[in-house]
Structure 1
Amino acid sequence: MDIPRIFNITESEHRIHNPFTPEKFTTLGTVLRLKPGTRLLDLGSGSGEMLCTWARDHGITGVGVDMSQLFSQQARQRAEALGVADRVAFIHGDAAGYVADEKCAVAACVGATWIGGGVAGTIRLLSKSLSDQGIILIGEPYWRQLPPTDEVARQCYVSSISDLCTLPDLVSSFAELGYDLVEIVLADQEGWDRYEAAKWLTMRRWLETNPDDELVGEVRALLNEAPRRHVEYTREYLGWGVFALMAR
């Protein structure tokens, strides 16, 4: 079980696999008022930066689940490096359908709501692992400004304008699902730069050291188009944020 190899290549040097910066995760951990011993579940945990740094800074415990073998290994290494391996665990597996054995005070899916077929399905999935009065964290993109055409939307890695909401519509959707929005931390363009631009150096170095790999053509094509695509489309049209929800 693994994610497509191209993502393991392009994001192999990432600690955070979304447009959040370390400072944004610090802010999020602070505004959630995390207490020592708080138990978290993180579905689609990537390289484990959120769980590991919050275990270090706030004394939380938790479990992360991710399909990438590489990212799961990196998460365990990060836990060791930060001295929190006794407080957090990382499972290499399919987060879709995963329900924790023990109820958690915080259940998160920060940037992988495809595991539940979208925001609503992912909230339903996370709620199965949540204790009473617990908090759900959803990381999700939205339109900063509506693209003029579906072709422009496709340059932002979606199939059409209707695939994403504006921020007001996304916020309204939480209420329609029966949840209060109790905190919000939004990414900014610097976060998008760090997430997207970090891939470019990774791809260039990979091409230099893997000239005979079967994915050379695909990686080269990505590197050729990615910088212009980012500054013309992704950076201008896409927003992203983490939304903290509590059931009404």
Structure 2
Amino acid sequence: MDVPRIFNITESAHRIHNPFTPEKFATLGEALRLEPGARVLDLGSGSGEMLCTWARDFGITGIGIDMSRLFSEQAKRRAEELAVTDRVTFIHDDAAGYVADETVDVAACVGATWIGGGVAGTIKLLAESLRAGGIILIGEPYWVRRPPTEDVARGCQAGSISDHLLLPDLLASFGDLGYDVVEMVLADQDGWDRYEAAKWLTMRRWLDANPGDDFASEVRAQLTSEPERYARYTRDYMGWGVFALMARP
């Protein structure tokens, strides 16, 4: 079980596998008013930065599930670096369908809503692990402005314009599912640049170290095209944020 190899290569040096920065995760933790001992489940936990830093800074306990073997091992090492191995556990597994043995205070899927077939399905999955009155966190992209054509949407790595909503429509969609939006923290341009541009040096160094690898041609093609694609499309049209939801009575 693993993610496609291209992700393990391009994001191997990332601590955060989305457009958030460490400062944004700190802001989110403060905004949620996390208390020591709060239990957090993170489906698609990547390299564990959110859970590890929240354990260090706010005293939470947590479980992270991710299907990338590389990222799961990086998360365990990060927990050791921050001396929080007694507070957080990382499991290499498929997060799709995962339900915690004990209900949690916060159930999160920060940028991997494909595990539930989209936002609605992922919220339904997270709710199965959540205590009454708990908070669901959804990390999701949205259109800052709607692409004028389907070609532009595909340039943003969306399948079509309909794959994403404008921010007001995304917020309204949570209400349609029976949830109040109680907080949100949005990525900024620097976060997007750091997430995307950091991949380029990683790819170049991988190519220099692996010139004869069967996968080199695919990595080379991506490194050649990605800077222009990102600047032309994603940077102008895409937003990303984490949204805190509570079920309506």
Matches of 1:184 and 1:87 in 2, distance apart?
25
- Structure 1 residue identity aligned to 2:209: T
Does 1:86 find its partner at 2:94? no
Listed one character per residue, the Cα deviations across residues 61-80 of structure 1 (whole Å, up to 9, x for unaligned) are 01000000000000000000
- Structure 2 residue identity aligned to 1:67: M
Does 1:209 find its partner at 2:200? no
**What's 1:173 paired with?**
173
| Partner SS for 1:23 | helix
Q: CA deviation at 1:218?
A: 0.4
TM-score by length of 1: 1.00
Consecutive unaligned residues in structure 1, runs of 5 or more = none
Listed one character per residue, the Cα deviations across residues 147-171 of structure 1 (whole Å, up to 9, x for unaligned) are 1100000011111101110000000
**What's 2:20 paired with?**
20
Does 1:125 find its partner at 2:125? yes
**What's 2:163 paired with?**
163
CA-atom RMSD, angstroms? 0.4
| Partner SS for 1:101 | coil
| Partner SS for 2:184 | strand
Listed one character per residue, the Cα deviations across residues 81-109 of structure 1 (whole Å, up to 9, x for unaligned) are 00000100000000000000010000000
1:32-51 aligned at under 5 Å gives the runs: 32-51=32-51
Matches of 2:128 and 2:141 in 1, distance apart?
24
Matches of 2:59 and 2:147 in 1, distance apart?
42
Percent identity reads 74
Matches of 2:227 and 2:189 in 1, distance apart?
14
TM-score by length of 2: 0.99
**What's 1:196 paired with?**
196
| Partner SS for 1:63 | strand
Q: CA deviation at 1:111?
A: 0.0
Matches of 1:159 and 1:81 in 2, distance apart?
39
Listed one character per residue, the Cα deviations across residues 103-126 of structure 1 (whole Å, up to 9, x for unaligned) are 000000000000000000000000
**What's 1:71 paired with?**
71
**What's 2:144 paired with?**
144
| Partner SS for 1:94 | coil
Matches of 2:86 and 2:221 in 1, distance apart?
42
| Partner SS for 1:138 | strand
Matches of 2:7 and 2:30 in 1, distance apart?
30
**What's 1:225 paired with?**
225
Matches of 1:179 and 1:159 in 2, distance apart?
27
Listed one character per residue, the Cα deviations across residues 185-219 of structure 1 (whole Å, up to 9, x for unaligned) are 00011111000000000000000001111110000
